[in-house]
Amino acid sequence: MTIETKLPRVGTTIFTVMSQLAAEHSAVNLGQGFPDFEPPQFLQDALARAMREGRNQYAPMTGIAPLRQQIAAKIAALYGRQVDADSDVTVTSGATEAIFAAVHAVVRVGDEVIVLDPCYDSYEPAIDLAGARAVHVPLVAPDFHVDWQRVRDAVSPRTRLLIVNSPHNPTGAVFSAADLDALAALVRDTGILVLSDEVYEHIVFDGAVHQSVLRHAELAERCFVVSSFGKTYHCTGWKLGYCVAPAALSAEFRKVHQYLTFCTFAPAQWALAEMMAHHPEHHLELPAFYREKREGFRALLADTRFELPPVQGAYFQLADYSAISDDDDVTFARWLTTEKGVASIPLSPFYQTPPSGQRLVRFCFAKSDATQQAAAERLRRV
């Protein structure tokens, strides 16, 4: 049987490839972005309790009311934005599902969607499956800021959606308030909508505050905002996220969501609602928690030949290996895994057209001290 693929440019994701390679070679896995430590004990206990209490059947399609209410309360406290828990908040089976549902809610055949390279690898397949075209605009190295004039130049009559991501995966760059103003000016008086991927919203450093589009009233009226419980509560395997959007956009979003997953793992929803109610300090403590991990990891690599650019947000450290090898990043990352025993993620798979001569890989520092130390011992021998 011959199958004509709907995604001819898509193979196995680089995250799966590198994690499999790490397992095959017993490498320390600093590639795929997941913590190797456990969720808070309170959250684990709440999950077990929810299952014992019979919270094991279908949840409401939009998510259980207590969790949606906690999300709305958090948004009001952090960003000063009042959202309606009933009409504006939808719980999803991870942020990737939310991104897919948002794209398919509003993007039609022949539309264009602007993405900023390097960008997370789920964006373009969702766009392709909608019959639309991704228009790639590169961020500006070395700090990976947005050239808003270049984005403006990429806008056409077919532009339907613009996807932004802050804190940024894979570079760790973060938006400023000026970036939000520039984005608002760009989409003002147009029909362009915004999808803001904010899964690392609580992981920003050095006194910065996360510039959610929900802080910006004009943007919030035309935006899907996606976040992740997995990133915030160290439980990526639970696959829980949510999308916040105005009622009209949420209505369209839910039409897709209800036939994509319908609803999301019910016991975890009850556990997270309880966690948010009893421990609202958790997300407020994440910047300091991950700053310590960032600083510890950078100190461990200080005497290696890797050059380490600053990290503004998220839990990834870029590393420039120019002093070590002239190989392209995919070749280098494979060599580092198979020969030196440390898995990373190359940056080129996040681009449509990777910059010539760029020598960067991404390490995840959301790891225990023991994992960081084991990796550093091997990296110091590179």
For residue 377, is pLDDT > 90?
yes
| Separation of alpha carbons 374 and 54, rounded Å | 42
- Residue 134 has what pLDDT? 98
Q: Are residues 29 and 65 in the same domain?
A: no
Q: Are residues 210 and 298 in the same domain?
A: no
Q: Is 6 inside a domain boundary? A: no
Q: Are residues 189 and 254 in the same domain?
A: yes
Q: How far is CA 282 from the centre of its chain?
A: 19
Q: What type of residue is 77? A: A
Provide the 3-class DSSP secondary structure of residue 181.
helix
Output the furthest CA–CA distance in the chain (Å, rounded): 58
Residue 127 — pLDDT band, cuts 50, 70, 90? very high
Give me the number of domains the chain comprises.
2
Q: Are residues 316 and 258 in the same domain?
A: no
Rounded average pLDDT over 121-147:
97
User: Which of 279, 305, 329 lies at the terminal end of a domain, its last residue?
Assistant: 279
pTM of the model: 0.96
- For residue 256, give the CATH number of its domain: 3.40.640.10
- For residue 31, give the CATH number of its domain: 3.90.1150.10
Rounded average pLDDT over 314-338:
97
Q: Is 219 inside a domain boundary? A: yes
Q: Are residues 271 and 333 in the same domain?
A: no
For tokens 């990133």, what's the residue? 231
Q: Using one digit for the tens of pLDDT, what is the confidence trace for 232-286?
A: 999 999 999 999 999 999 999 999 999 999 999 999 999 999 999 999 999 999 9
The CA radius of gyration of the chain, in Å to the nearest whole number, is: 20
Q: Is 288 inside a domain boundary? A: yes
What b/e string do you get for 186-214 counting C-beta neighbours within 10 Å, with b at 16 or more? bbeeeebbbbbbbbbbbbbbeeeebbbbb
- Within 13 Å of residue 318, how many CA atoms lie on the same side as its CB? 24
Q: Are residues 143 and 235 in the same domain?
A: yes
Residues of the domain holding 324 = 14-39+282-379
For tokens 């960081």, what's the residue? 372
- Residue 11 has what pLDDT? 83
DSSP state of 3: -
User: Which of 226, 254, 279 lies at the terminal end of a domain, its last residue?
Assistant: 279
Residue 1 — pLDDT band, cuts 50, 70, 90? confident
Query: Rounded to the nearest 5°, which phi and psi values hold at 115?
Result: -125, 155
Q: Are residues 274 and 286 in the same domain?
A: no
For residue 118, is pLDDT > 90?
yes
Residue 9 — pLDDT band, cuts 50, 70, 90? confident
- Residue 210 has what pLDDT? 98
| Separation of alpha carbons 351 and 53, rounded Å | 47
For residue 12, is pLDDT > 90?
no
Q: Using one digit for the tens of pLDDT, what is the confidence trace for 150-193?
A: 999 999 999 999 999 999 999 999 999 999 999 999 999 999 99
Q: Are residues 207 and 267 in the same domain?
A: yes
User: Which of 233, 252, 279 lies at the terminal end of a domain, its last residue?
Assistant: 279
